[in-house]
Structure 1
Amino acid sequence: MSRRLLMMCMSLLSLGGLVHCSKSSQEGTKPAAPAEAGKAPAAVQATAMTVAQEQQASWIRNFNPLIAPGTARWPTRAGVYEPLMIFNTLKGEFVPWLATKSEWSDENKKLTLTLRPGVKWSDGQPFSAKDVAFTFELLKKHKALDFAAVWGFVESVQAKDDATVEFTLTRPYVPGLIYIVHQPIVPEHKWKDVPDPVIYKNETPVATGPFTEVKVFQNQIFELGRNPHYWQQGKPAVQSLRFPAYPGNDQANLALLTGELDWAGSFVPDIERVFVSKDKDNNHYWFPLVGNTTTLYLNTTKKPFSDVRVRKAISMAIDRDQIVKVAMYGYTKPSDATGLSEAHDLWRNQEAVAAGDWTKMDLAKANALLDEAGFKRGEAGIRAGPDKAPLRFEINVVTGWTDWVRAAQIIAQNLKQLGFDTTLKTYDFSPFFERLQKGEYDMSMGWTSDEPTPYHVYRDLMSSETVRPVGEVAARNWNRFASKEADALFKAFEGTSDVEEQKKLAAQMQMIFVQNAPTVPLFPGPSWGEYSTRRFTNFPNKENPYAKLTPNSPPENLFVLVEVKPK
């Protein structure tokens, strides 16, 4: 389904009728019973909720929750498998899940988790503390799976009894709670004989989540059924999840507009006109600015991006106002130089904001910085360094992510005014993400952490602990930047549970980020979420903000999966 077909359907929709332009009919519902004379037709009973979260041309059967987020099929990490607790961004609190209680002791060097009784794996075997300890031991044995660098601060993990897990830390590390409790847990009895969990596809998962049964798996569609032993009685109310393959935003949006989708988390241009107005009773969206920050990553291992002056010059050449207006349809606002979204407003250091003039467009200053850094304009206005090599670079972006593609096009045009010969390079998500994680790029669109505090955001972008060599997968710090000064602040933050002290340290982190510009923040990302109530209800929204609506923020999407109900 092409962009041309999307535009044709949008034109037909504007005539007032909901025209179904998809090549496949809506599946996953039971047909309505024939109407008796004088009576209205019986209501359609929804059985499968159709969801769009990943955008892939075709599906690869992989349900390994331990590999890089975005590699296994959604919702492997939070829906098939589950974490111990879930941080609810909107409420600012941890919600008990597989664990019911967490307790710090020994001057914040010991964390004890009490597990929920009665939880079973989907094959009926009991879930216990041994499974938790086993999962973390897998991360220790296979460093490629330890994306949060948990074993950088954890010394040991012990199952004290079936319901108690004790984590002994190498140092006080209060913010490490989220890295521990958000880890998906796997069953020891199924994984103990897996030869290499790094490459294991886990095609038939055994898990604790609400949807564990692979009912259908084809190149263009798969369907997950309910866990027969799920621990939340009466949940999920939805019988199964259905996932058609959509290569990009255009195809996913077409499915949304034509009524094929029940829940999505994609960018939709002019959503009030093209979606909501077509069925005001059922078509809804909610885009709070509590998502992660959309960022232009610069590979700091490469010249000239290793030079802070170049990074700031690139940032000052970018017309963020145009990006917000043209690429983002006014759904967001330009980022300030702290790179924090509205989820961290209570932490924001206004002095750092004021010091960060490099997120304001200023071509004169940008050109002056490049001249100072020794990159002179040559033939055709293209700048070159001392080695005479022209500044020719690619910006990586995901094929079909139309908002990001348009933003990257604007950035490329902006950088030409600086003397950069910059072009776009588009990839399907999987190869795009692999290049980003391995540091095999020049410039790349990307995103930051949306975890609870600025500590988490900046640890991902500036900590020595999260740096990996180019070519090795890094779940964090894709820019591969390290600051010893920031490392000291991270350590101090890790050792205190005093909120006021944490705020002072976070303010200093923001200043270091502003001084070094390790990445180029563009705009706080809207937390994309769209839904239709034609078949299912009880989605979160502005009036019922029990969680983020978006399916793009695991493990928080679990809140939605267990609360949505058939209409």
Structure 2
Amino acid sequence: MKKSKILSSIGVVTAAALTLVACGKGSNDSSNQGANTASKFSESVPKKTAKQGGTLKVAVRSDTPFTGIFSDELYTVQTDAQVAEPGEEALFDTDDNFKINDKGAATLKLDVQDKTATITVKKGVKWSDGKQVTAKDLEYSYEILANKKTASQRYSSQLENIEGMKEYHNGQAKTISGIEMPDGENGRQIVLHFKQMKPGMYNSGNGYFWETAAPYHYLKDVPFAKLQSSDKIRKHPMYFGPFKLAKLVRGESATWVPNKYYWRGTPKLDKIVISVLSSNSTSQSIKDHKFDVVNAINAQWDQVKDTKDVNFVAQIPIQYNYLGFKVGKWDAKKDKNVMDPKSKMNNKALRQAIGYAMNVDAVDKRYTEGLSFRVPTLIPAQFGDYFDKNAKSYSYNLKKANEILDKAGYKKKGKWRVQPNGKPLVINYMTRQGDSTKEPIQQNYIQQWHKIGLNVKLLGGRPTEFNSFEDKLQHDDPSVDMFEAGWGLASEPSPNNLYGETSPMNYSRFVTPENTKLLSEIDSTKSFNHKYRVQKFHEWQEYMNDQAYTIPTDNSYTIYAINDKITGYSLRPSQNSNGHQLWGQVGFVK
């Protein structure tokens, strides 16, 4: 997921997915539904000879302005990643199974016995000011992540597997002892020293080492506490990808021009203009050909599918939407999630009943033209045998939901059920802004919960604007009891940095000894044995489904409408840079 997991305004999307054929494999109804739809789409536009020049107009679908945090270490939402993509490039390229290869800006060498990873940047990989990307730039990205003054949400316990990382994070050391620069700061190589080697380290998105760099020579004079708000991050960011930022209309658009020092060669386009496009305007903009690249809306597929002079490409991203329950808070002093045993939602029976009352299959069929489908676990089917196809999921069953609540002591007093202690029960539900189907879908779920006697109210009476939604989640707003959200996942399936005790992105704030144990086993040295790791993944999915602190709901095709005069655009992992579109190879047909 690509470098890490990211909260998204729609659902999610941070990592390129497997091929559509592979995504369709699976025995459950939802997977088969996806397989039947897969034949409609290709992952790439036709390959043709591209000419030099031209301005590409790209729409990023969002119902809120992008925040404009142009830093891999600091941003958390999808729109910022999308707007930054022309300048972005990861250190590593991968094959179609997300295994890191030597074709990218840097190479990786793992030594399991010595517990090291050696990362070497290729000569000629330069920032947009012409400076070579150095060892210090690699080290500096870890400092941004780990220094508490940056308030980075991307720091996780997985990074503490690097020697000295935790000490640096806690302010007990001025440097990270486990990062060695054999040729000095101006060299091109770092050696990471780990406490343990992990089975996912051969794949991108593993969370144990960072996969981008930060321009130390450019940012070094900015104090860590001011990085996120600085003009060098917000207005004039620096990348080593194919383009550099030339103009920014805050929250609305970004204009990118070629990075003349780009290591893969001169980009074909003269300019890329990326603009925010509201959901309600998306289908009409496709039909009117206002943009060359537009992310279509599944619910509007019937309106746009016959549009001429457009190639539709699609993927099933490694992502899912979910229902989360607030059962604790983030303790900033202890850097960990702390559960509240007295939390209103800290009752398994209540959470399970809420899950069984959701008619996800009917909703997806009604509103998304079959392009969204229910998912049974928090591990997507794209991860092959790590996905537990036999896991017991929350299919629609009102009778079972009522029985669970009755047995748990949630008795009805009039229209609504009360808590087992006899006190009134009101559940405040937060949902995100979205397209025109968003509110009716969420009101449908609320009505389903009303059917089982639960007094669920939509927070604020309407979907929450996304930036406010994210703020309430991250800061554990006490007005939120449960919420719907989504994750775009890394291309290495470990769930540790989303659901671990020390993960800031564990927004439900649940922590149990069993969960900690299973997550540890998934990433242990024993899990170099594939069968053992598969077993632990299956145990974790069964445990999470049973406990229902986070209930997976559905996933969706991501469909792009591409001007048929465009070539070089592809969603295949091997033709991207670890999830980033390689915009340098995109151009207009001769």
TM-score (ref. length: structure 2): 0.76
1:66 matched to 2:95: no
CA–CA distance in 2 between the matches of 1:92 and 1:151? 20
CA–CA distance in 2 between the matches of 1:62 and 1:249? 22
* Partner residue in 2 for 1:12: none
Q: Per-residue deviation at 1:86?
A: 4.6
Q: Per-residue deviation at 1:189?
A: 0.6
* Partner residue in 2 for 1:412: 446
* Partner residue in 1 for 2:214: 186
* Partner residue in 2 for 1:437: 474
1:339 matched to 2:361: no
* Partner residue in 1 for 2:510: 481
CA–CA distance in 1 between the matches of 2:256 and 2:111? 41
1:151 matched to 2:169: no
CA–CA distance in 1 between the matches of 2:350 and 2:182? 53
Q: How does 1:70-149 map to 2 (within 5 A)?
A: 70=77, 73-75=80-82, 78-86=85-93, 90-96=96-102, 99-107=105-113, 109-142=115-148, 144-145=151-152, 147-149=154-156
2:512 alignment partner AA: S
Residues 347 and 404 of structure 1, relative CA distance in 2, 3 Å threshold: farther
The superposition leaves residues 111-147 of structure 1 with CA deviations (integer Å, 9 ceiling, x where unpaired) of 1112222111111111111110122122222362251
Q: How does 1:247-258 map to 2 (within 5 A)?
A: 248-258=278-288
* Partner residue in 2 for 1:421: 455
1:189 alignment partner AA: H
SS of match in other structure, 2:415: helix
Q: State whether residues 64 and 200 of structure 1, in contact with CA within 8 Å, keep that contact through their aligned partners in structure 2.
A: no
Q: State whether residues 225 and 240 of structure 1, in contact with CA within 8 Å, keep that contact through their aligned partners in structure 2.
A: yes
CA–CA distance in 1 between the matches of 2:107 and 2:453? 56
1:173 matched to 2:198: yes
Residues 245 and 289 of structure 1, relative CA distance in 2, 3 Å threshold: closer
Q: State whether residues 88 and 580 of structure 2, in contact with CA within 8 Å, keep that contact through their aligned partners in structure 1.
A: no
Q: State whether residues 310 and 562 of structure 2, in contact with CA within 8 Å, keep that contact through their aligned partners in structure 1.
A: yes
CA–CA distance in 1 between the matches of 2:446 and 2:53? 46
CA–CA distance in 1 between the matches of 2:471 and 2:212? 21
2:207 alignment partner AA: Y
Q: Per-residue deviation at 1:405?
A: 3.6
* Partner residue in 1 for 2:360: 320
CA–CA distance in 2 between the matches of 1:294 and 1:61? 24
CA–CA distance in 2 between the matches of 1:71 and 1:332? 19
Q: State whether residues 180 and 191 of structure 2, in contact with CA within 8 Å, keep that contact through their aligned partners in structure 1.
A: yes
Residues 463 and 219 of structure 1, relative CA distance in 2, 3 Å threshold: closer
1:277 matched to 2:306: yes
Q: Which moved more, 1:90-99 or 1:127-136?
A: 90-99
Q: State whether residues 52 and 261 of structure 1, in contact with CA within 8 Å, keep that contact through their aligned partners in structure 2.
A: yes
TM-score (ref. length: structure 1): 0.79
Q: State whether residues 80 and 208 of structure 1, in contact with CA within 8 Å, keep that contact through their aligned partners in structure 2.
A: yes
1:524 alignment partner AA: N
Q: Per-residue deviation at 1:165?
A: 1.0
1:172 alignment partner AA: M
* Partner residue in 1 for 2:9: none
Q: State whether residues 122 and 227 of structure 1, in contact with CA within 8 Å, keep that contact through their aligned partners in structure 2.
A: yes
CA–CA distance in 2 between the matches of 1:421 and 1:207? 50
Q: How does 1:190-339 map to 2 (within 5 A)?
A: 190-195=218-223, 196=225, 197-201=227-231, 202=233, 203-217=235-249, 220-234=252-266, 236-246=267-277, 248-271=278-301, 273-279=302-308, 282-301=309-328, 303-336=343-376, 338-339=377-378
1:179 alignment partner AA: G
CA–CA distance in 1 between the matches of 2:401 and 2:208? 42
CA–CA distance in 2 between the matches of 1:531 and 1:94? 29
SS of match in other structure, 2:432: strand
Q: How does 1:331-480 map to 2 (within 5 A)?
A: 331-336=371-376, 338-351=377-390, 353=391, 356=392, 358-386=393-421, 388-398=423-433, 400-424=434-458, 425-440=462-477, 441-454=480-493, 456=494, 458-466=495-503, 474=504, 476-480=505-509
SS of match in other structure, 1:229: coil
Q: State whether residues 548 and 556 of structure 1, in contact with CA within 8 Å, keep that contact through their aligned partners in structure 2.
A: no
SS of match in other structure, 1:479: coil
* Partner residue in 1 for 2:331: none
Q: State whether residues 436 and 478 of structure 1, in contact with CA within 8 Å, keep that contact through their aligned partners in structure 2.
A: yes
Q: State whether residues 85 and 182 of structure 1, in contact with CA within 8 Å, keep that contact through their aligned partners in structure 2.
A: no
SS of match in other structure, 1:318: coil
The superposition leaves residues 490-544 of structure 1 with CA deviations (integer Å, 9 ceiling, x where unpaired) of 3333224332332222222222222222211111332x13122344223227xxx
CA–CA distance in 2 between the matches of 1:209 and 1:395? 37
1:408 alignment partner AA: Q
Q: State whether residues 253 and 266 of structure 1, in contact with CA within 8 Å, keep that contact through their aligned partners in structure 2.
A: yes
CA–CA distance in 1 between the matches of 2:180 and 2:84? 23
Q: Which moved more, 1:502-511 or 1:75-84?
A: 75-84
1:103 alignment partner AA: K
CA–CA distance in 2 between the matches of 1:405 and 1:84? 40
1:84 alignment partner AA: L
* Partner residue in 2 for 1:518: 549
SS of match in other structure, 1:500: helix
* Partner residue in 2 for 1:563: 585
Q: Per-residue deviation at 1:283?
A: 2.0
SS of match in other structure, 1:94: coil
1:433 alignment partner AA: E
Q: Which moved more, 1:114-123 or 1:503-512?
A: 503-512
The superposition leaves residues 304-326 of structure 1 with CA deviations (integer Å, 9 ceiling, x where unpaired) of 32111111111100111211112
The superposition leaves residues 386-419 of structure 1 with CA deviations (integer Å, 9 ceiling, x where unpaired) of 2623323223212x33454443222112111122
> Which structure 2 segments of 5+ residues have no match?
1-49, 164-177, 329-339
Residues 385 and 47 of structure 1, relative CA distance in 2, 3 Å threshold: farther
SS of match in other structure, 2:56: strand
CA–CA distance in 1 between the matches of 2:320 and 2:397? 22
The superposition leaves residues 37-59 of structure 1 with CA deviations (integer Å, 9 ceiling, x where unpaired) of xxxxxx99972222222515445
Pairs aligned (count): 494
> Which structure 1 segments of 5+ residues have no match?
1-42, 467-473
Q: Which has the higher contact order (CA 8 A, sep 6+)?
A: 2
1:169 alignment partner AA: F
Q: Per-residue deviation at 1:167?
A: 0.9
CA–CA distance in 2 between the matches of 1:171 and 1:525? 36
1:163 matched to 2:188: yes
CA–CA distance in 1 between the matches of 2:474 and 2:135? 32
* Partner residue in 2 for 1:531: 561
